[in-house]
């Protein structure tokens, strides 16, 4: 199981939201590169970098942060937030992203995402499924659609896309534990999925349970920044 710390960016700063609410913003560090280097020094190999300004505005904004982190660390960065057009995804890869997360556009324009699969390869794209009561939310979680997560994945899994980040909005930033049942149901329905669990991780016990479930990876944000899980505790998973 891959340990994937999250760095969320607003105005170039490392922040965390609670349940995707921009009004509940907490700044943890004004230098995201400093945070990324801390993760790298702890033996972390992966990073989930989210351009929250981009997600809100519908166009990528914080590519300078991506470029700095990709250029000055060896972290394998997946980047998301505001990727809507060909030039957005091209710029993300040009700035050093190893993978790009397709969120709202995967819901609104599946044809575009499938064209990107043809151009860049299925292993370079991640479907970002942000879920509220099993329904997909888009545009920085400001809009909840009528599309259920299984319907979204049925569009992409048969086309060779395997990587899926599933974030349960109800648990995100709450430190109350992940939605284990949701992840189990997704993995049962789509055996080939490389599921990355996101939202609610609050303890090493949560990580151990996710590892037992054999998820591909787990994104951890607030639990690290609030000291609920230490860098030392993460090493038992990164070195396993």
Which residues carry out catalysis?
Answer: 8, 130
Distance, CA of 170 to CA of 97 (rounded, Å): 28
Residue 94 CA to chain centroid, in angstroms?
A: 19
DSSP 8-state assignment for residue 58? T
Do residues 62 and 15 make contact, with C-beta atoms less than 8 angstroms apart? no
Distance, CA of 23 to CA of 187 (rounded, Å): 33
């Amino acid at each position: 199981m891959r340990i994937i710390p999250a760095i969320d960016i607003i105005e170039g700063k490392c922040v965390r939201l609670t349940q995707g609410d921009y009004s509940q913003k907490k700044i943890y560090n004004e230098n995201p590169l400093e945070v990324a280097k801390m993760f790298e020094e702890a033996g972390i190999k992966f990073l989930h970098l989210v351009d929250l300004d981009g997600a809100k505005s519908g166009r990528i904004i914080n590519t300078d942060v991506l470029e700095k982190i990709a250029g000055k660390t060896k972290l394998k960065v997946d980047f998301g937030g505001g990727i809507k057009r060909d030039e957005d995804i091209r710029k993300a890869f040009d700035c050093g992203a190893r993978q790009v997360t397709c969120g709202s556009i995967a819901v609104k324009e599946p044809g575009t995402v499938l064209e990107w699969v043809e151009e860049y390869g299925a292993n370079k794209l991640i479907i970002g499924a942000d879920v509220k009561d099993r329904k997909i939310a888009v545009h920085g979680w400001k809009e909840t659609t009528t599309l259920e997560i299984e319907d979204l994945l049925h569009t992409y899994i048969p086309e060779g896309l395997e990587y899926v980040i599933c974030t349960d909005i109800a648990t995100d930033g709450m430190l109350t534990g992940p939605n284990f049942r949701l992840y189990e149901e997704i993995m049962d329905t789509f055996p080939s999925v490389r599921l990355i669990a996101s939202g609610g991780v609050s303890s090493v016990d949560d990580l151990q349970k996710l590892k037992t479930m054999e998820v591909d990876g787990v994104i951890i944000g607030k639990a690290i920044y609030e000291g609920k899980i230490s860098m030392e505790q993460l090493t038992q998973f990164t070195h396993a």
